[in-house]
């Protein structure tokens, strides 16, 4: 058997093949280095996040423990009394801004002739003044006239009779409650006189007929 190589240049592109292999190897090395670097960065970030989560859990547990310890040391009765005292203090502060003169001036402008005022009880309720009127009237229509006159002043709203009773002498006793806004009546000064005054003669005439 004859042996031999008939090609004149059997490995004519050895340098190009070597260069290509070298470039491919370099790319593989660079990709491997990038992946290794990125993996280390992700591992570091993961460790940092795990540490932050652990720290947050520790802080939350400590806060819960402090809260529980505080609750064990708080006297619920004293706390309730303190809340009540705070409400009373706020009520006193609100009452200092209350003008009895302005209130009675509004009542004087609206009180019908046949209605007698027995008691006035203002109070502060969540920043709103509430006024309770105890009145006595010859007829219940007079109580209605008083309610209408209060509404027309503009200083009173949600005016409602919460109690009414017929007395032994034939008169009516009623309790009226209303929300009161001091100073609001100044915007409608003419309403009470025009609405309440004409309504009184028919009621008086009706009373005389009875």
Pull the structure tokens for residue 7: 């090609």
Give the whole-angstrom CA distance, residue 182 versus residue 153. Answer: 11
Q: Is 24 domain-assigned?
A: yes
- State the pLDDT at residue 186: 42
201 shares a domain with 122: yes
How does pLDDT run across 42-61, given as a tens digit for each residue? 888 888 888 889 888 888 88
Domain range spanning residue 31?
16-48
Give the whole-angstrom CA distance, residue 209 versus residue 81. Answer: 57
Q: Is 6 domain-assigned?
A: no
194 shares a domain with 110: yes
132 shares a domain with 43: no
Q: Is 132 domain-assigned?
A: yes
107 shares a domain with 172: yes
The residue that leads in pLDDT, 127 or 97, is 127
102 shares a domain with 183: yes
Residue 187, pLDDT above cutoff 50? no
E strand or H helix at 179, and its extent?
strand 172-180
Q: Is 149 domain-assigned?
A: yes
Q: Is 124 domain-assigned?
A: yes
The residue that leads in pLDDT, 143 or 77, is 143
Q: Is 74 domain-assigned?
A: no
102 shares a domain with 23: no
- Asked which of 88-92, 99-103, 191-195 is least confident by mean pLDDT, the reply is 191-195
Angle at 49 between CA 47 and CA 54, to 5 degrees: 95
Q: Is 170 domain-assigned?
A: yes
Give the whole-angstrom CA distance, residue 124 versus residue 131. Answer: 9
For residue 191, name the pLDDT band (cuts at 50, 70, 90).
very low
> Which of 32, 48, 64 marks a domain boundary?
48
For residue 209, name the pLDDT band (cuts at 50, 70, 90).
very low
Based on the structure, what is the number of domains in the chain?
Answer: 2
The residues pairing with 160 across neighbouring beta strands, listed in sequence order, are 177
CB 182 within 8 A of CB 102: yes
- 180: CATH: 3.30.70.2830
The residue that leads in pLDDT, 12 or 108, is 108
Question: What is the residue-averaged pLDDT of the chain?
Answer: 75
E strand or H helix at 131, and its extent?
strand 128-137
> Which of 7, 29, 48 marks a domain boundary?
48
- State the pLDDT at residue 190: 39
The alpha carbon torsion through 181, 182, 188, 190 (nearest 10 deg) reads: 130
Q: Is 84 domain-assigned?
A: no
204 shares a domain with 129: yes
How does pLDDT run across 119-163, given as a tens digit for each residue? 988 887 776 788 899 999 988 889 999 999 999 988 898 999 888
């Amino acid at each position: 058997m004859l042996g031999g190589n008939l090609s004149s240049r059997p490995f004519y592109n050895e340098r190009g093949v070597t260069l290509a292999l070298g470039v491919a190897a370099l790319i593989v090395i660079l990709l491997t280095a990038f992946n290794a670097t990125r993996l280390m960065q992700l591992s570091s970030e993961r460790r940092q996040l795990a540490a932050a989560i652990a720290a947050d859990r520790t802080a939350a547990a400590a806060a819960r423990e402090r809260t529980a310890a505080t609750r064990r040391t708080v006297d619920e009765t004293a706390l309730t009394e303190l809340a009540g005292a705070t409400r009373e203090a706020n009520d006193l502060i609100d009452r200092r801004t209350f003008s009895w003169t302005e209130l009675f001036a509004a009542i004087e402008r609206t009180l019908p002739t046949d209605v007698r005022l027995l008691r006035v009880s203002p109070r502060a309720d969540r920043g709103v003044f509430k006024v309770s009127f105890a009145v006595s009237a010859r007829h219940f229509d007079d109580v209605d006239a008083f309610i209408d006159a209060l509404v027309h002043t503009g200083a009173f709203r949600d005016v409602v009779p919460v109690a009414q009773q017929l007395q032994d002498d034939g008169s009516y006793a009623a309790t009226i409650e209303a929300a009161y806004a001091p100073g609001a009546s100044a915007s409608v000064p003419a309403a009470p006189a025009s609405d309440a005054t004409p309504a009184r003669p028919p009621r008086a005439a009706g009373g005389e007929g009875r």
